[in-house]
Chains A and B, each alone.
Chain A
Amino acid sequence: MGDLASLLSGFQIALTPFNLYLAVIGIVLGTIIGVLPGLGGPNGVAILLPVTFTMAPTSAIIFLSCIYWGALFGGAITSILFNIPGESWSVATTFDGHPMAKSGKGGEALIIAFTSSFIGTFFGVVLITFFAPLLAGVALRFGPPEFFSIQLLTFASFVGLGGANPLKSMAAILIGFGLAAVGMDMVTGEFRLTLGSMELVRGFNFIIAVIGLFGIGDILVSVEEGLEFKYVKGARVTLREVLRTWRGLIGYWRTFLFGSFIGFWMGFKPGGATAASFMSYGLARRLSKHPERWGKGAVEGVVAPETANNAAGVAALLPMLALGIPGSATAAVLLGGLLIWGLQPGPLLFKEHPEFVWGLIASIYSGNVIGVIIVLTCVPLFVAILRIPFAILTPLIVVVCIIGAYAPSSSLVDVWYMMGFGFLGYIFKKLNYPLAPLVLAMILGDLAESALRQSLMMSQGSMLIFFERPIAGTITALAIVIFLLPVLAWLRWRLAGKPVSR
């Protein structure tokens, strides 16, 4: 019951007028960010991260996490009305959401999507409230070898379960770690991978990389496709419509429940939100009594993916809070923020900064309620943003990226790096190199390296330490199995005598 008391004290923090005000601003900004092409969860949070440097850490995390929730809501708007998934995890929402909008039920589709998001998030945060302290309690006994093996597991899941070409995932992860290693070594003070340039001694700032990779990279991909906004009109959201839709939604409680469970289960593993939304969509379709309606605007087709991706988005915070390992690119940027505010992510956070952890968890409850009210009442505003012609939006977003890259350390060199990362992100996206693990590796690089170093010091240089300790050994073994999954799948194909796909 101690957790409920902690949660109540968290509400006392989250519901102060200043923090509520930040939550409202965060949700509105986040929804706009989610609606705009080229801006999304990771780079939206990265651009606004410097704004929070002067705030108290709890207010800062409330502000930034509300941007994250807003971006999740915003993704639904573009998917349904414009058939443009703002994020990869909104792709499944377009399958039935857009046909609904085209048949004149755009408002209803939006209400369904927002409600599903709300329920998914709510379910996720309830589970976090109970599981995060438990997991953190277990993790308190972890030493450097355990943390390193969890890192291994995280990155092995990207390679084995991420869905991208395993070799490309591996290369992306290693490049991320390499970028993190550039600059002065924290332990010995030596300069690494600087190619003799003094400019590189301070290393690469992950904020710059995220803005470039996701911001400029996305813009280039979308202009290349000759993106045009084909807008479905007639999406009105009225109170009567909301109540009528809600009454109809009660019958779909099973889809909500399955979606939330799948979302949460997939979500605390890295890269889970996208997989969760597709899995939930697929399962709901298989269980549906009217499979013929799917793809033409089935209500469950909106409920299932939206519930799952929001539950997954919240679940991504569970390992971030309890273990210091983020489950998604946006959570990784939030974790980078923690480091900047001077907080050490990991299980000790619950002991040393309970006001921060519980303030954040409580703000997910309150932010979610505020969020659903804001998006339901302000749909026309957000839609209006997307009616701005593309030739105005594109340069404006580029300018925002430039300013966002300059602001953290007032350096024009950083802006050039950002542009470089932008072109890199564009090429990687075209060739299907996954970007999320790269960013995760870049942010976790120093933590992973110091865990590795400390473990090896404990064992006098023997790698066996990762196998001999019971918890670390189990996790490492699991990581190796997951890492080898693609190889096993390949072998099975070979043995079956079928040609290898890919």
Chain B
Amino acid sequence: METVLFYLFATVALASAVMVVVNRKVFYSAISLIICLCSVAVLYLILESPFIAAIQIIVYAGAIMVVFLFVIMLLDPFSSSIMRDKKKFLAYIGVLLGILTITLLYPVLRSYDIAQTPKNPRFLDREVGSIKQLGESLFNEYLLPFEMTSVLILIAIIGVVVLAKRQVSK
């Protein structure tokens, strides 16, 4: 059951990822990316991390992609996105580089042995994915990074407002 689910959603994720790149219209690329994010969220569920799966769907596929779609519709994509391929060879070089990276990276992944890495004795098997465990770790060990993200978001808000403001006097 788990294997079938993994292969099903891995296939969907890969196919929609390829569709993101292949599609010439940005709107359809964004829709494919939403499908990819949702199927990866299912993989998170298989990996017993339901909180991250929920966050993935609510924040990633919900909020962030809505911002993307909003901007895409704002900028009139169907007229401006279809561009002539001035440098066709760039696509071939990209695919070639991708294949090269796969051939170089696959032996490295293959040689990694999980059994040699020590497991963390702190947690019981069933506890790792739970929200309680996540929250305790987030607000004890990772409290400083957590507060730093709020500063980061504040900086981003100010930056976006400054960028998007129209300059009146020119």
Answer yes or no: do A and B interact. Answer: no
Interface residues of A (CB under 8 A from B): none
